[in-house]
Chain A
Amino acid sequence: KQEVTQIPAALSVPEGENLVLNCSFTDSAIYNLQWFRQDPGKGLTSLLLIQSSQREQTSGRLNASLDKSSGRSTLYIAASQPGDSATYLCAVIGTGNQFYFGTGTSLTVIP
């Protein structure tokens, strides 16, 4: 069974810093990888979707990369802002069209 791990579990940074969130998965036979943001008590908001044939996707201050062979993805956030404070989840979709979620990284950006 696919296992998805996110490190670190929690991260606190001062405003303006660039930061990297990590996601690793055990089975490299994936179709897509998706990064989400979740605010407390809310649903998930999709940030970036990377297809298996792609190596990275960018949206504004966010950049996500994918290395299938090593089972890793990173989410890079440039010039962090207090509004970026949330939990960030990665999810991989593999054989059987099943999504597997990571445990999340809780990010706090300090003004």
Chain B
Amino acid sequence: EADIYQTPRYLVIGTGKKITLECSQTMGHDKMYWYQQDPGMELHLIHYSYGVNSTEKGDLSSESTVSRIRTEHFPLTLESARPSHTSQYLCASSEYGGQSGYGYTFGSGTRLTVV
């Protein structure tokens, strides 16, 4: 049973549209992440959050933005979608403090196609 949920699962949208990818977790985790992954390629961290009202950019430059108003919710927004944004977007969460022995939990992903 998934404890972290991503919607939509698939999305095809036209260039220039504004889109929001949803991610919610029910585990009360402090840390949440967004990764971008092209088919057969490695994961790239694009945003992360340590908790409410905390957001940081990751290693990969991204034109997306995120917000963290509630612990359980970490949406990702693209103000104007472009074909270069076509990819799979994966959301994950973890307990704050990796040294406590907690790992990542991932959602099922959103596959975005911009036409």
Contacts and interface: CB of A to CB of B under 8 A. Distances in A.
A7 interface: no
Contacts, number: 58
A97 B102 CA distance: 11
Contacts of A42: 108-109
Nearest to A51: B101
Interface residues of B, number: 25
Given A43-B106, A44-B90, A44-B106, A32 B101 contact: yes
13 contacts: A32-B98, A32-B101, A36-B104, A44-B104, A46-B104, A46-B105, A49-B102, A52-B99, A89-B43, A97-B98, A101-B42, A102-B42, A103-B42
Interface of B: 6, 31, 33, 39, 42-43, 45, 88, 90, 92, 94, 96-99, 101-109, 111
Q: Which 4 A-B pairs have the closest CB atoms?
A: A93-B98, A31-B99, A44-B106, A34-B103
Interface of A: 31-32, 34, 36, 41-46, 49, 51-52, 89, 91, 93, 97, 99, 101-104
